[in-house]
Amino acid sequence: MAKSKRFLIGGIIILAAISYLVVGGMKEAIVYFVTPSELKAKENLSADKFLRMGGMVVKGSLKKDLQTLTYHFELTDGTTTFPVFFKGLPPDLFTEGKGAVVEGRIGKDGVFQATTIMAKHAEEYSPHADGKDAAKSFIPAKDTSTK
Amino acid sequence: MAQAAKPIRKSRGVLGALALTAIAIGLYWGLVIAPPDAYQGEVQRIMYLHLPSILTAYLSYFLVFVGSGMYLWKREKRDDILAHSAAEIGVLFTALTIIAGSIWGRPTWGVWWTWDARLTLTAILLLIYTGYLMLRSLIEDESRAASAAAVLGIIGFLDIPLIHMSVYWWRTLHQPPSILQPNKPPWENVHPSMLTALAISFAGFLLLYFYLLSLRYRLGEMREKIKARRLERGV
């Protein structure tokens, strides 16, 4: 009896965890990140709302200061660019012309203040850097996230 | 009975030896022969563990699905033993996938974990089958436990096509599939030598999987026999 009670409690905890993940997690996961266009299109951007933005790092936009570990760059979705500021250590794969997802909030100056940078890589693996666009897949072709 | 078990035990031993050999060759190919990836460097080699591992887990949950369906239809104990065994080993390979993926994600993506659709649905996959195993021990009546688990074993399988499609339907950090991409063959995504390492490693994982499954199934059978004998003696 004690054993089955223990498992019942465990079962309820697992069930609660599953429901929490499905309801809470999936809602966030489905619109995992917004694009620079979507972010710019928003009327009143609240400065304290936690956001995730994805795009390609604009070539020539990356300015880094390795003394203070500060990074200034722009993310683009092909039509709109959005300025980003980051202080810290970005992942090794973070570089110009590649896909990245940033987490943070929009500052008063309209610059995205990133607290985390994530680098997105392609599904292609090769010993040769053949100049292929490593994250052309940063948005799926049949994107249903915002529909 | 002892005579019948002998050749099975022998072929199981051969299976285990083959699994070890294939995994050893796969490891050697993946760590030594295959070139490092141009962008990711050496860390990309985690793929030779991460990918075979999740494909093996998918196969395992497919067997849970088949065993569960067969059990609900025919009510034969062996199908339930198959589903139960496959669920246990599936959880093992799912956990291995998530651990390897996490170690791969930290240096490449920059994070151990993120709540994108693919990762979230994979975490749910692990929870579903952990829940499946708990459910079995939760219900005291055995045939009721088996039936309830079978229902979960069938419904739970639906998560796998969701995981597969997640990278097409939603924006994710995880990249699309390299091997199971509908309109693009694997060799266009993965360099031939890397693909060979993947194939050998996957073969090794499959052999290991069937070795473990056969052992676990045998264990299930023996448990049933002990129970039946106890019942006979009225213990």
Show the 3-state SS of chain A.
CHHHHHHHHHHHHHHHHHHHHHHHHHHHHHCCCECHHHHHHCCCCCCCCCEEEEEEECCCCCEEECCCCEEEEEEECCCCEEEEEEECCCCCCCCCCCEEEEEEEECCCCCEEEEEEEEECCCCECCCCCCCCCCCCCCCCCCCCCC
Shortest alpha-carbon distance between residue B43 and chain A (Å): 11
Shortest alpha-carbon distance between residue A6 and chain B (Å): 9
Mean pLDDT of chain B: 93
| In a shared domain, residues A11 and A52 | no
B141 found inside a domain: yes
- Which of B38, B41, B120 is closest, CB to CB, to A126? B38
In degrees rounded to 5, what are phi and psi of residue A84?
-130, 140
The Cα B189–Cα B181 span in angstroms is: 9
Taking 70 as the threshold, does the pLDDT of residue A43 lie above it?
no
B29 found inside a domain: no
B12 found inside a domain: no
A132 found inside a domain: no
Number of domains comprising chain B? 1
B38 found inside a domain: no
| Helices B142-156, B117-138: crossing angle, 10 deg rounding | 170
Residue B196 contacts A, CB cutoff 8 Å? no
Percent of chain B with pLDDT over 70: 97
The pLDDT score that the predictor gives to residue B222 is 96
ipTM of the complex model: 0.84
Unique residue bearing structure tokens 């649905």: B121
| In a shared domain, residues A23 and A55 | no
| In a shared domain, residues A64 and A91 | yes
Number of domains comprising chain A? 2
As given in the structure block, the two tokens for residue B67 are 């065993």
Q: Which domain, by its residues, includes B79?
A: 49-233
| In a shared domain, residues A10 and A73 | no
Taking 90 as the threshold, does the pLDDT of residue A56 lie above it?
yes
- pTM over 0.90? The answer is no
Q: Which domain, by its residues, includes A105?
A: 33-120
Q: Which chain A residues touch B37 with a CB distance below 8 Å? A: 125-127
- What would the pLDDT profile of B82-121 be if each residue is shown by its tens digit? 999 999 999 999 999 999 999 999 999 999 999 999 999 9
The pLDDT score that the predictor gives to residue B1 is 45
